[in-house]
Structure 1
Amino acid sequence: MPERTGGKGSVTNAVWSLVVPLKPLALAKSRLARSVGASRPGLALAFAQDTVAGALACAAVADVVVVTDDAAAGAELARLGARIVPDVPAAGLNAALDHGARAVRSGRPGAALAALNADLPALRPLELQRVLENASVFPRAFLADAAGIGTTLLSAAPDAELAPSFGGPSRARHSASGAVEIALPDVDSVRRDVDTAADLRTALALGVGRHTARYSARMQATAYTYDSQTRSGSVLLDDGTPVPFEAPAFDAGGLRLLRPGQRVRIETDGAGASLRITLVTLQTF
């Protein structure tokens, strides 16, 4: 790793503006569709909520700008304290980040910027602070994702352009663009983006924020009873509440048999006394 020294283009004790891009929820996290089914949009929102909440709790962060055209997601993230900027370019991830960066610097011309993924549900403020402090001595810097292929954070000092190149093997592109790779141990929560069921399991093991924890808990249950003749039965939610399911919910999950005690993934409709299970299948994360 290059020597960490100050100088032109560096930021000392920076207070950062973060730009977080978020697709419309109906399109977000498409690679999770097979594992979480119709719960995917809600889970994508929960990831973004925990990312924004974790970022705003970081002492090095002044504000968070979310670039999105999803009105419902924008409203929820604004409640957490994020500033919502419409995705006017509507030309993909990097165009959205450039647009967000311009929105920040139109009001704060000398702002230090960092682009941050919206799918970091285990984000810890102190780990993010360490990453930003490390980034602050370079004109541009980036943090590779847990897989070592993509990027979860890209920073730009006040006199540097962000020049994002996210998507696919962005680690190599950001390095080739002159950004310095941040090589810090013990910042797993800032690296752990979630694209697959395996990623989600790892994030849950790290410890996710309250939004993802609450939403994922609603997606999990334990088989309680099952009648093979009627293909109906019941599950126990993780709080111990029994909820019945009928044959259409069982059939929707593609199962042949269900044994009491098996962990299952469920999809539901309604709430409280009106809660209805629309799908029950084996747990996939």
Structure 2
Amino acid sequence: MTPMTEDTVRPATVRPSAPGPGPDGAAPRLGWTLVVPVKPLAEAKSRLAALGALRPRLALAFALDTVAAALACPTVERVLVVGRDPRATGALRALGATVLDDEPGDGLNPALSHGSGAAHRLHPHSPVATLSADLPALRPAELARVLAAALPHGRAFLADTPGTGTVLLAGPPGVPLRPAFGPGSRRRHAAGGAAELRLPDVPSVRRDVDTPEDLADALRLGLGPATGALLRSSMLLPMQATAFTFDPTTRSGSVLLDDGTPVPFDAPAFDAGGLRLLRPGQRLRIRTTGEGAARRVTFLTLPTFPDPESA
């Protein structure tokens, strides 16, 4: 087996793992290394099987939103993804994550032990935490609060929303994490000596998604861009926009998507929604077709009006 070195698991352009001095000689900032396990997409999220072919795509979207939010967290120095699904690892590497092959190939806890062990060896000055890959509503500021609360402890964990599982297990530099994830992991981590973090204001970190009910709860918190876009494109999440222009003579105009992109509509699209007039600034529920410059609105109505296709 090739010896594990910095270059075997991450690009050559890396930030140094040793902490540097802070401003004006202050104490050095300890950037966290987060270890995120990613299952093969074909095997992930089995309790969302009712969604059919959308299930593996959702698993990837969850991971993309989780890793993107983690990388945006101000106290996270790097994210180490442990997995071997080429589609998932390629997409996560493109976000800026480091990818480590799941050499054990023997389930979640061996993968996490492998990843956290590599993190300790490659970045010995960095505190390390494992983070679930299915947190599509994750907010960087909430994650920062959890990591700050974990830092004073030898080992610490955060329970999931139901209070029986674990979404994050953390430890200071050099301390083995001894992961015990799976059903009932909250009890096992506590029994193993890890301190439980009891924070009331971090719902996006606790909200992992295994079931349709979990996904609905994450939607209430606010989904990340990858998951939100996938659900909208699959018509599982209504797409909304803002009326931008309207000509009552031709019954045509345009809307602005929430990212500011203008998309035109014609008279048949306007007539399909049962509207009589439209004023700029109104919020609308829409359907579209096409991509890029060819994208067009095919249906628009008020959010409170019915959509025949979803009835």
**Amino acid of the residue matched to residue 174 of structure 1?**
H
CA contact (8 A) 1:156 1:162 kept: yes
Does residue 218 of the first structure (1) align with residue 233 of the second (2)? yes
Distance between the aligned counterparts of 1:124 and 1:182, measured in 2? Answer: 17
Distance between the aligned counterparts of 2:135 and 2:289, measured in 1? Answer: 32
Q: Report the equivalent of 2:136.
A: 121
Q: How many Å apart are 1:260 and its aligned residue?
A: 6.1
Distance between the aligned counterparts of 1:261 and 1:144, measured in 2? Answer: 41
Distance between the aligned counterparts of 2:287 and 2:67, measured in 1? Answer: 31
After superposition, the Cα gap between the structure-2 partners of 1:95 and 1:149, relative to the gap in structure 1 and judged at 3 Å, is: same
Q: How many Å apart are 1:220 and its aligned residue?
A: 1.5
Q: Report the equivalent of 1:251.
A: none
Q: How many Å apart are 1:13 and its aligned residue?
A: 5.4
**Amino acid of the residue matched to residue 42 of structure 1?**
R
CA contact (8 A) 1:222 1:261 kept: no
Q: How many Å apart are 1:242 and its aligned residue?
A: 6.8
**Amino acid of the residue matched to residue 30 of structure 1?**
S
What is the alpha-carbon root mean square deviation over aligned residues? 2.4
Distance between the aligned counterparts of 1:77 and 1:222, measured in 2? Answer: 24
**Amino acid of the residue matched to residue 127 of structure 2?**
A
Gaps of 5+ in 1: 1-11, 224-234, 244-258, 265-285
Larger radius of gyration: 2
Distance between the aligned counterparts of 1:260 and 1:121, measured in 2? Answer: 27
Q: Report the equivalent of 2:164.
A: 149
Does residue 202 of the first structure (1) align with residue 217 of the second (2)? yes
Percent same amino acid at aligned positions?
Answer: 51
Q: How many Å apart are 1:107 and its aligned residue?
A: 1.4
Does residue 30 of the first structure (1) align with residue 49 of the second (2)? no
Secondary structure of 1:26 counterpart: helix
Distance between the aligned counterparts of 1:58 and 1:107, measured in 2? Answer: 21
Distance between the aligned counterparts of 2:71 and 2:179, measured in 1? Answer: 22
Q: Report the equivalent of 2:302.
A: none
Secondary structure of 1:109 counterpart: coil
Distance between the aligned counterparts of 2:30 and 2:76, measured in 1? Answer: 8
Does residue 111 of the first structure (1) align with residue 158 of the second (2)? no
Distance between the aligned counterparts of 2:230 and 2:135, measured in 1? Answer: 15
Q: How many Å apart are 1:109 and its aligned residue?
A: 1.9
Distance between the aligned counterparts of 2:220 and 2:209, measured in 1? Answer: 13
Secondary structure of 1:149 counterpart: coil
- Which of 1 and 2 has higher RCO (CA within 8 Å, sep 6+)? 1
Structural mapping, 1:1-285, within 5 Å: 14-34=30-50, 36-220=51-235, 239-241=286-288, 261=308, 263=310
Q: How many Å apart are 1:101 and its aligned residue?
A: 1.0
After superposition, the Cα gap between the structure-2 partners of 1:260 and 1:205, relative to the gap in structure 1 and judged at 3 Å, is: closer
Distance between the aligned counterparts of 2:193 and 2:204, measured in 1? Answer: 25
CA contact (8 A) 2:120 2:174 kept: no
With the length of structure 1 as denominator, give the TM-score of the two structures.
0.75
Distance between the aligned counterparts of 2:174 and 2:141, measured in 1? Answer: 26
Q: How many Å apart are 1:14 and its aligned residue?
A: 3.4
**Amino acid of the residue matched to residue 25 of structure 1?**
L
With the length of structure 2 as denominator, give the TM-score of the two structures.
0.69
CA contact (8 A) 1:14 1:136 kept: no
Secondary structure of 1:152 counterpart: strand
Distance between the aligned counterparts of 1:260 and 1:83, measured in 2? Answer: 43
Deviation by residue 1:87-127 (Cα, 9 ceiling, x = unmatched): 00001000000111122122112321100000000000000
Deviation by residue 1:240-279 (Cα, 9 ceiling, x = unmatched): 2379xxxxxxxxxxxxxxx963637xxxxxxxxxxxxxxx
Distance between the aligned counterparts of 1:260 and 1:17, measured in 2? Answer: 46
Secondary structure of 1:94 counterpart: helix
